[in-house]
């Protein structure tokens, strides 16, 4: 029976399906796979499953073989080459006075291509830079301009929660985040408190948004007149997770009650 496995090439990167052929694979196995760019080094992140469970009819490339010590040594060697290429490219950028922020270099597993990732506020004419890099490094060169969120994902770091940023640890792709999500959760709208390292709204604002929306449907909106056992009053504040509301009575006193204690009229 034909089976497929999920392979990831980078931490928190996209998972790609491959035909595992006759190989018996388990989680965290390092494998060499056939890609459009040639051979690639990846890690098994999903267990083999039957072809019938696929959601796409696109033909799959195969797992070439299990990675051996030579492949691991090649991976280490590529990492060292990336550091050298990064240093030289930065020198060239400074020499040419280009307005670009180089932050990462990726070398294909077979060493046939180097990809340089950078951010910039506008378009950059890097034709002269590419010529200098090809002449020095003797390989194909690709310059790729990406957004600030992608830079945060590739570089990693710690969020204000003290843990590794979501995008660099487990998020495979970015979803839309809006200021409405912060408002719905009664969070401070101070940009410095709800923005991540990338300067954009934190991805984690989406995690509890739907829960807050669901719970708020049962809670009277702020400013609404309600009737309680202590008298009539106006809703001032919500404690959504505990399902409590702060009510200001007609005599000026404030009380905190459960939404279950609000008398329906």
- Residue 132 has what pLDDT? 93
- Residue 55 has what pLDDT? 61
Asked if residue 229 and residue 198 are part of one domain, the reply reads no
Residues pairing with 119 in the sheet: 101
What global pTM score does this model have? Answer: 0.72
Asked if residue 188 and residue 159 are part of one domain, the reply reads yes
Last residue of a domain, one of 130, 146, 162: 146
Segments forming the whole domain that contains residue 246: 225-261
Task: Compute the half-sphere exposure of residue 120: CA atoms within 13 Å on the CB side of its CA.
Answer: 17
Give the strand pairing for 30-35 and 38-50. antiparallel
CATH code, domain carrying 117: 3.30.300.20
Residue 28 lies in a domain: yes
**Residue 69's Cα: distance from chain center in Å?**
31
**Residue 197's Cα: distance from chain center in Å?**
12
- Residue 265 has what pLDDT? 60
- Residue 52 has what pLDDT? 67
The 3-class SS string of the chain reads CCEEEEEECCCCCCEEEEECCCCCCCCCCEEEEEECCEEEEEEEEEEEEEHHHCCCCCCCCEEEEECCHHHHHHHHHHHHHHHHHHHHHHHHHHHHCCCCEEEEEEECCCCCEEEEEEECCCCCCCHHHHHHHHHHHCCEEEEEECCHHHHHHHHCCECCCCCECHHHHCCCCCCCCCHHHHHHCCCCCCHHHHECCCCCECHHHHCCHHHHHHHHCCCCCCCCEEEECCEEEEEEEEECCCCEEEEEECCCCEEEEEHHHCECC
pLDDT digits (tens, 9 = 90+) for 91-128: 999 999 999 999 999 998 888 889 999 999 888 889 99
Q: How confident is the chain (265 residues) per 10-residue block, as mean pLDDT?
A: 82 81 83 84 85 68 87 90 93 92 90 90 90 91 90 85 87 88 89 88 92 88 85 86 86 85 73
Q: What does the block give as tokens for 229?
A: 């056992």
How many independent structural domains does the chain possess? Answer: 4
Asked if residue 113 and residue 97 are part of one domain, the reply reads yes
- Residue 37 has what pLDDT? 76
Asked if residue 163 and residue 138 are part of one domain, the reply reads no
Residue 199 lies in a domain: yes
């Amino acid at each position: 029976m034909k089976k497929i496995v999920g392979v990831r090439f980078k931490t928190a990167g996209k998972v790609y399906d491959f035909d595992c052929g006759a190989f018996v694979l388990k989680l965290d196995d390092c494998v060499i796979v056939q890609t459009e760019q040639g051979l690639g080094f990846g890690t098994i992140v999903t267990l083999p499953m039957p072809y019938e469970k696929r959601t796409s009819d696109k033909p799959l490339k195969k797992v070439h073989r299990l990675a051996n010590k030579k492949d691991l040594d090649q991976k280490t060697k590529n990492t060292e080459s990336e550091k050298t290429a990064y240093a030289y490219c930065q020198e060239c950028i400074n020499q040419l006075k280009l307005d670009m922020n180089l932050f990462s270099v990726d070398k294909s597993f077979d060493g046939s291509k180097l990809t340089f990732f950078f951010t910039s506020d506008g378009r950059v004419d890097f034709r002269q830079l590419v010529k200098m890099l090809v002449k020095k490094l003797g390989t194909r060169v690709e310059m790729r301009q990406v957004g600030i969120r992608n830079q945060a994902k590739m570089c990693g770091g710690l969020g204000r929660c003290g843990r590794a940023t979501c995008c660099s640890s487990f998020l495979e792709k970015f979803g839309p985040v809006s200021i409405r999500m912060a408002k719905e959760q009664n969070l401070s709208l101070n940009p410095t408190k709800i923005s991540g390292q990338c300067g954009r709204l934190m991805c984690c604002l989406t995690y509890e948004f739907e829960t807050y929306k669901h719970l708020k449907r049962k809670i009277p909106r702020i400013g609404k007149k309600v009737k309680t056992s202590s008298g009539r009053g106006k809703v001032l504040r919500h404690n959504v997770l505990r399902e409590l509301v702060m009510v200001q009575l007609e005599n000026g006193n404030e009380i905190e009650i459960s939404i279950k204690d609000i008398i329906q009229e």
